[in-house]
Amino acid sequence: MTDVSVISKSFAEIGARAKVAVLEKPDRSNRSVVVDIKKDKKGEFFDIRILDAIELFILDEEPADRHLLLMARDPKNPKAKFLCGHDERHWFTAAIPEHSRVSTVVGAKQALKPKEIVQLETYRGVRKKDLHKRRRKLKAGGKILRQGEFMFIPEPDFEPSLDAALKNERLARGGNPHRAQYLYREGGITVYINSKYPNGLTQKQYEELIKRNPKAKRWQWQVQVRDPIVHVKGKVSHPEHATVNLGQIWHRVLLNTESKAKAAYNVAFID
């Protein structure tokens, strides 16, 4: 059984508030564990809701860094872990991929990096003390930059036609979009997205849905591209993060690995 006071105390030690509710039956989300960021008159707080069969544990705390690693012992996903912390201006939570056997805040941060970032840090050299900064200098030149869940790595030899680049284009996995001054996208899969299908339907899935339910065609759909190769340059902005200025060098855009975690289903907060 979860000791709510212990969980709340650990969050207080990193400077956060946490409200933990133990439920006898699932709420409208129909999830056994929900980790969310909400706001009241006192500001932001972690809103955590669990069924009474779920146990919560704090695996690690880094008060100076304002981060902790939370684990939920859930029969459906016994390895569910969540990095909870403060990033620039706001609190956040991110699910950790289950294949990553991490038990520390530092390990969780590393597990959220895509393999391309880890390889670049290894082979082009990033000092250990800089591994988790939003700006990481590479010994071979250039910087890895991060804004929320997006990471940018320099590719100075990449030079598409500027006429083919989109201007003031959105970057989004969900929630508030980031905006790129210049964006070039290639490849990927066309998907149809709306409030009922936030993760998108492929062309085939969309056509099958319309065939089953012709009225669905009138639902407010947006056509987007899933998993394309994306490059950006210029300024990248977001209302909850400091603007990143990439200058005139094109940067490859990579997302953190949270989408690979089963526990991401339990995270209601989207940056």
Three-class SS string for the chain?
A: CCCHHHHHHHHHHCCCCEEEEEECCCCCCCCCEEEEEEEECCEEEEEEEEECCCEEEEEEEECCCCEEEEEEEECCEEEEEEEEEEECCEEEEEECCCCCCCCCHHHHHHHCCCHHHHHHHHHHCCCHHHCCCCEEECCCCCEEEEECCEEEEECCCCCCCHHHCEEEEEECCCCCCEEEEEEEEECCEEEEECCCCCCCEEHHHHHHHHHHCHHHHHCCCEEEEECCEEEEEEEEEECCEEEEECCCCCEEEEECHHHHCHHHHHECCCC
Please tell me whether the overall predicted TM-score, pTM, comes out greater than 0.75 for this model. Answer: yes
Tens-digit pLDDT profile for the chain (271 aa)? 788 899 999 999 999 999 999 888 877 777 888 999 999 999 999 999 999 888 999 999 999 999 999 999 888 777 899 999 998 889 999 999 988 889 999 999 999 998 888 888 887 777 777 677 777 877 767 788 899 889 999 999 998 877 889 999 988 776 678 999 999 988 888 889 887 887 789 999 999 999 999 999 999 898 888 778 999 999 999 988 889 999 999 999 998 888 787 777 677 544 4
Sequence ranges of the domains in the chain = 4-112+260-266, 154-187+228-255
